[in-house]
Amino acid sequence: MYRISKERLDPLNRSKGMAKNSVQNQALLSELEQWLTDNGLTYAKEQTFSQFMPTKRRFRADYLIRDSRIANYKGIILEVNGGHWTFGRHNRGKGYENDLIKSNMAQVNGYIFLQYTYGQLKERLYIADLKELMQA
């Protein structure tokens, strides 16, 4: 069996010290939550899909955002995916397939589904996306 080394998956070795990054990642999540609050967006964390749509699947939304300024949609599901430099769950077969099912289910049921990596949180890419959705 051929094994892919971490160096091949991440030639710049960005995954080095992931445990140390958990503190940084938590700070990025706190910054996201503060931005949502400062901009008057109501959100709930770790909401099971069955709490807000008809399904028996055990999917959870990292953040469920509901706001009257988001027209034509029931809300926004914002997901933060990690492990992409280390061949994490979101990049492996079954995990990736489940992520697609989750994304499609949310969209079919009237939700906008946004996904970001921690690197994208650090760049604050969510701000432009959410502002545009609030103005639409």
Q: In angstroms, rounded to a whole number, what is the distance separating the alpha carbons of residues 87 and 100? A: 17
The helix (H) or strand (E) run that includes residue 112 is strand 111-117
Domain boundaries, the chain: 32-135
pLDDT digits (tens, 9 = 90+) for 49-107: 998 988 888 899 999 999 888 888 999 999 998 755 445 555 556 778 888 999 999 99
pLDDT digits (tens, 9 = 90+) for 95-126: 788 889 999 999 999 999 999 999 999 999 99
Residue 79, strand partner residues: 115
Report the topology of domain 32-135.
Endonuclease; Chain A (3.40.960)
Q: Strand, helix or coil at 11?
A: coil
Q: In angstroms, rounded to a whole number, what is the distance separating the alpha carbons of residues 57 and 74? A: 19
Q: In angstroms, rounded to a whole number, what is the distance separating the alpha carbons of residues 7 and 21? A: 18
Residue 65, strand partner residues: 43, 76
